[in-house]
Structures are given as structure tokens and as C-alpha cells.
Amino acid sequence: MRTGWQKRYCFRGLLVFLLLKTEESASQMITGTWKGQINKKKVELKIIQKGDSLFGTSYYYESINTYRRYSIKGYFDGRTNETIWWDDQLIDEKKGKLALGSPGKVPYLSNADFNCPGSGKMILEGKASLINDRDNIKGAVDLVKTGNSIFKDEWDFIIDNYTEGANDPTIIDSVAAIASSPAPVPVNEIMITKPTEMQKRDDPVFNVRKRELSTADPFKPAPSMLPVPIPETIQTIEEKFVKREKIFAVEIPVIGDSIELRFYDNAEIDGDSISLFLNNRMIFQHIFLKASPYIIKIAVSELNETNELVMVAENLGSIPPNTSYMLAIVNNIRYEAMLKSTEETSASIRLVKK
């Protein structure tokens, strides 16, 4: 993590950068193309920020024709500049003329600090671990933000136009749905096997045509026949709140002036994020669950006699389900609850004035 003087230096560097490029804000600067190494493997990373969430793609490569590509998901904490992302789904693999080695063979979870050491340079430095075993550190994360990309894909439009409207959540969700689909096999790479001698004798079509199909003569569909990816429907957090079953967890008596709620990740820190609804109204969203608490306070005077607080999972992290440890402090009395949310259920807490 950074020392005090590094933070001040970073802040001055940010001011210079903002003066030179006023159309970008600090919250948008994590968005872009990053190059460097993860566990000594060459990587090009494209990060797109939507609120506290991160989307994009990672390329582990040996050359432009030899790589593995993953869709990524993650979170960015604007207060601490902590950046967490993980390789979510392998969507493309190119072996080129030679066999593809180890780059990208194992997906990683990366935890890095977003720093700007000066001269407009922005870096991500941290550690990479196994997705299901965060304590198993595999190597260092060392990435530098750059203005160009080796690999062209769907995210380039978002990055190039982020400050001109492409940061719209609907657009980002649509591109994420398309970009996470596995790449189709090119027509010229479809393998057509030759018939055996037995098949030749028994196949009347072959006997009439008197020739074999080969990879040099594949069937090539017209452009209008090629499949067009259809983005999956992305549910809003409000739709998730309405559709999911609410499972009652605990009742908490409320007295005094205010109630303090602290939310922690109940297990391994794996990217869980939640929203909170009070009496059918969303009051907080994009709460990133970590080992340190996310603290909110609710004035008792604003509560009804009986109230329903619902925790809705925005995602399930890398290790489902989404689990949260909640500590409620009411008039110096502590109440604890283990809350669980899935794609079908949400956790419900009842707050009752006494």
C-alpha cells in the first residue's frame, strides 16, 4: 500500500493529468487498456468501470496469434484505490502455428493498488492468486496503462468513447453480454473428415460425385447466414429485488436515535457485492463486501413501527452463494446475523420499534 508522501505525490499527479485532460474524472481513469505482466506472463487487460463494478477482458499471450482470452469481472474501491478482478470465463484460445504454452492456462484473481507515480503514468501493482484460494499467491501484478491495444475486440468502442456517453450502464451490460460469448469457430478451421473406403462403397452420393470433400473446399455460408449474437437480458437490481424470494433471517428491536449496521464478507473475500432495500426502496447499492466493515446508519425517527430490510446480491462472487456477516448496534446492544443471497433468494431482516 502507499505511504503518505506517495499519496500526496499521486494526488498532485492526478491534478496535472486532469488539467491536461479535463474531460475525464478520477472515477473514470481506471477504465482503459493496461499492459504488463501477471505472474511473469505477458498480459493485455481492458478494464471498464460501471459504478464500483469492473468488466472487461484479459489476454494472456505469447504473440498476437497465440493467446488465451478471458472475460473479467471485479470491483474498484474509489476510497482506497484497491482494484480487484478475476478471470471469469475462457472465451477464446488461439494456438497459432505452435502449441500454446502456459500463459492463461490457469485463471487468476488479482488484487492491485491503482497508483500514479507521476508524469501521467498510471500503474496497477499487486499480487495474483488462484481464484478459489486467495492465500495461494502465484506471482506479482505489474501493469501500466497505455493508449493503444494489441488485441481488438468489442470493448474498444467503450474505452474510446467512455467519456462521450459509452459509460452508460446499459451499453456496458450489452457489450458484456456479447463479449462473454465464446468466439465462433472460423469457417476455414472447421474440420471435414475424409470418408473411409467402406463409406465410399456404401455411400451412393459419394459414388455419384466421385470426389472427396477437403478442407480446401469447405462450405462457406453467405454473410447473411452467419449467426448474430443476441445479448442476454440483463436484470436490474430492482428487478432482482422484486423477483427473488425473500428469506427471513432475524428480527432486531430498535430503540434510541439511530441503528448502525456493519456488513462484512462472511467467508473468503471473493468479490461479493450487495444492494440494500428498506421498505421496498433501495437505499444503498454496490456495497463491496470485504474483511473491513461497510458501515451505514439509519435514523430511528425515519423508520416505521415495523420495517423490512432486504439484502439483494448483485453478484455471487467467485465462490457462490453471496454470504454476508451483519453486525447491528442498537443503543449499544449488538445483534449478529449471517445473511445469504442467491440468484433465487434474498435475505430479509425485520426492524421493529420497541
Query: What residues contact 100, with CB distance under 8 A and at least 6 apart?
Result: 62, 66, 67, 68, 93, 94
Please write the tens of the pLDDT for every residue from 201-256: 444 444 444 444 444 444 444 444 445 555 556 678 899 999 999 999 999 999 99
- Per-residue pLDDT tens, the chain, 354 aa: give them: 445 544 444 545 544 444 444 444 443 479 999 999 999 999 999 999 988 889 999 999 988 888 999 999 988 888 888 999 999 888 888 876 656 667 888 899 999 999 887 777 899 999 999 887 778 899 999 999 998 899 998 898 889 888 888 888 888 887 887 776 655 444 444 444 445 554 444 444 444 444 444 444 444 444 444 455 555 566 788 999 999 999 999 999 999 999 999 998 876 666 778 899 999 999 988 888 888 888 999 999 889 999 999 999 887 665 667 778 899 999 899 999 898 888 899 999 999 998
pLDDT number for residue 110: 94
DSSP letter for 28, please: G
Closest CA to 39 of 148, 135, 137: 137
29-49: string of b/e by CB count within 10 Å (b at 16+)? bbbbbbbbbbbebbbbbbbbb
Q: Give residue for cell 499487486.
A: 126
Single-letter amino acid, residue 350: R
As a whole number of angstroms, the distance between CA 283 and CA 212 comes to 67
Q: What is the DSSP letter of 331?
A: T
- Three cell numbers at 241? 429485488
319, 268 contact by CB (below 8 A): yes
Task: Specify the pLDDT at position 209.
Answer: 43
Q: Can you tell me the distance from the alpha carbon of 288 to that of 317, in angstroms, rounded to the nearest whole number?
A: 10
Structural contact between residues 157 and 166, judged by C-beta atoms closer than 8 angstroms: yes
Q: Are 62 and 42 in contact (CB under 8 A)?
A: yes
Pairing of strands 345-353, 245-254: parallel
